[in-house]
Amino acid sequence: MADMIELKATARPRAGKGAARAVRREGKIPAVIYGDKKDPETIAIDENELWKTVTKGKFLSSVFQIDIGGRKLRVLPRDVQLDPVKDRPVHVDFQRVAADGMIRVKVPVKFINELLSPGLKRGGVLNVVRHDVEVICPAEAIPPAFEFNLEGLEIGKSIHISAVTMPPNVRPTIINRDFTVATIAGASAKGEVEATPAAGAAPAAAAAGDAKAAAAAPAAKGGAAAAPAKGGAAPAKGAAPAAKPAAKK
């Protein structure tokens, strides 16, 4: 059973952006309480007290008791708006819940006995499909978490919602199928893929070098034959000597 957490609040007679900014300047967080077929109530909660509660975890899956000047209401947080820069709450929505009422809430999942999974031992990876499961349950009996046992699971196996036993009066909102919560995936073959081009790089480089050498060889041979000898070309053997110029008279 979830523990009851109490938060002290003060009534906020005005709503709107201007009133909300005024509340924040006083070091408080504006909030609203709705539901249970009653009119919404605007309240203000101490910022430091609310922040400590949020950082403890499971804020959206815990029942709170709001004390408004001695008047106590049972509520469930439905939404927390955060400052985009400071990442701290700036507004909270609460829903009233009856003592015997059924509520819809998301329950976190966790996994145990990872060291006893042969698939994970052989390099497999736990691929979490759902980090929480939405259920309908009594406000007084919100499960703290759902535990899934990984003992004996091999690579390729899936963990379904049927692997966990639901407490009494607790049922998932998805009831028409045995949905997957996580899988044991195989190790990535990225290293093997990268090794393939590396191994073929040497023959490719050698082939490129041979082609370059083959292209350079005819060019060098033709260049040597075409280069004239120093001092002019030598006369062919057996050829008549060049005629001497006639002497001037």
Contact present, 109 and 163 (Cβ < 8 Å): no
Look at 181 and 190; give whichever has higher pLDDT. Answer: 181
Give the mean model confidence (pLDDT) for residues 169-179.
93
What's the CATH architecture for 5-97?
A: Beta Barrel (2.40)
Q: What share of the chain is helix, strand, coil (3-state, %, to 5)?
A: 25, 35, 40
Architecture of domain 105-185: Beta Complex (2.170)
The token pair at 140 is: 């007084």
Return the domain boundaries, the chain: 5-97, 105-185
**pLDDT class of 1 with cuts at 50, 70, 90:** very low
* pLDDT, tens only, 69-117: 889 999 999 999 999 998 889 999 999 987 667 888 999 999 999 999 9
pLDDT at 6 over 70: yes
- Rounded to whole angstroms, the Cα distance separating 143 from 170 reads 8
